[in-house]
């Protein structure tokens, strides 16, 4: 009797226990699923820098220049003419000049390209430049740099008439720029200035660091950035620091981290890293180098570690597609300006 009673009692208890265990396990599983969902945190968003698109900006400028030139020609003036001179067979130089010629064609500027052999002497090049200086149908002259080692670059830049020096490399134009006087401003620094203005980047009183000290880019750019905006050169009233190859690495990093605007023009890939940039700073990458990637393919890169720096910067220019297109656009603008100035000088 007792055995029957125990048996009768145990079976329901076991069934109940099994049922309860199943419920507990189900609840346990559900609770873990809910807990696991809570553990899956959303990915932390990184505020990427706003990219300053030089291609789009340059395209808009070229369109405006085209309209300006149509009015200029409609007023009875001849279309401006640009002469480009290449010495040697450097593929990069040919590519750069081709881009400039295409821009001329798009805007309505006539042009010609003179390619001289690498063996051309400095005297022969100077004689050619002098011929173009005297030709009233030529409004702008440029010699694509670099030139062969046996030719002195500074002498050649100064051989071009200051009125036709659309690159802005003649020492007369550089000197006038330094004195806040009206002049033809070097195309790349002018391109950087225009990018800052069009992107509404405030420069008045801001800390700007220029890394590089080339006489054709970094120096005139530093002059533009620090000059008085009330004078003819229309400077940008910034507080400027120039760093260069002899600036110790620790000092370079320190200066860069203090910059509201950081401009780099060295030609050393990846020089500027994420830890060297002030959060929210505007980073302008003027450098351009051709490197080979792991797959053996060549690509163009700047002086800034773009993917890393864009995570901390407020604005950044890419390479390619940043300063380069703006340089070409400013060269076109300088050519039109030179043509108008020459007409004005002849009528005065």
Catalytic residues: 100, 144, 167
- 348 half-sphere exposure, CB direction, 13 A CA radius: 6
Encoding tokens for residue 243? 């760093």
Q: How far is CA 207 from CA 50, 189, 238, in A?
A: 20, 17, 6
User: What kind and span of H or E run contains 195?
Assistant: helix 187-198
Per-residue three-class SS string for 297-325? CEEEECCECHHHHCCCCCEECCCCCCHHH
Is the separation of the CB atoms in 303 and 271 below 8 Å?
A: yes
With a CB cutoff of 8 Å and minimum separation 6, the contacts of 28 are none
Q: Hey, what are 263's tokens?
A: 């401009």
CA 242 and chain centroid, separation: 18
Tokens matching residue 330: 């400013």
Asked if the bond preceding 320 is cis, omega within 30° of 0, the reply is yes
Omega prior to 146 cis, within 30 of 0: yes
Token digits for 171? 């020492």
Contact between 138 and 79 (Cβ < 8 Å) = no
Q: Which residue has the tokens 């959303």?
A: 42
Phi-psi region of 194 (alpha: psi -120 to 50; beta: other; left: phi over 0): alpha
- Could you tell me which residues are beta bridge partners of residue 146? none
Half-sphere exposure of 225 (CA within 13 A, CB side): 31
């Amino acid at each position: 009797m007792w055995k029957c009673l125990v048996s009768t009692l145990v079976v329901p208890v076991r069934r109940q226990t099994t049922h309860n265990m199943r419920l507990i396990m189900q609840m346990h599983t559900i609770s873990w699923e809910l807990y696991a969902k809570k553990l899956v945190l959303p990915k932390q968003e990184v505020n990427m820098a706003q990219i300053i698109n030089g291609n789009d900006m340059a395209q808009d400028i070229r369109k405006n220049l085209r309209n300006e030139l149509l009015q200029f020609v409609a007023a009875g003036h001849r279309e401006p003419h640009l002469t480009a001179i290449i010495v040697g067979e450097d593929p990069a130089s040919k590519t750069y000049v081709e881009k400039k010629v295409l821009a001329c064609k798009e805007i309505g500027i006539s042009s010609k390209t003179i390619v001289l052999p690498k063996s051309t002497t400095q005297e022969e090049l100077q004689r050619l430049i002098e011929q173009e200086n005297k030709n009233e149908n030529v409004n702008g002259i440029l010699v694509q740099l670099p030139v062969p080692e046996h030719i002195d670059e500074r002498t050649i830049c100064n051989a071009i008439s200051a009125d036709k020096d659309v690159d802005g490399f003649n020492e007369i134009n550089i000197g006038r720029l330094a004195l806040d006087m009206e002049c033809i401003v070097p195309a790349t620094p002018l391109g950087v200035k225009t990018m800052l203005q069009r992107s509404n980047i405030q420069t008045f009183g801001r800390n700007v660091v220029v890394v590089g000290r080339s006489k054709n880019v970094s120096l005139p750019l530093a002059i533009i950035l620090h000059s008085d905006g009330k004078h003819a050169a229309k400077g940008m009233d910034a507080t400027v620091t120039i760093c260069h190859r002899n600036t110790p690495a620790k000092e370079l990093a320190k200066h860069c981290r203090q910059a509201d605007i950081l401009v780099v023009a060295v030609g050393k890939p990846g020089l500027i890293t994420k830890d060297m940039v002030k959060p929210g700073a505007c980073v302008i990458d003027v450098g351009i180098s051709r490197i080979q990637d792991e797959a053996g393919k060549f690509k163009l890169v700047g002086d800034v570690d773009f993917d890393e720096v864009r995570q901390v910067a407020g604005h950044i220019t890419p390479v390619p597609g940043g300063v380069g297109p703006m340089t070409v656009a400013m060269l076109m603008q300088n050519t039109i300006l030179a043509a108008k100035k020459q007409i004005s000088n002849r009528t005065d």
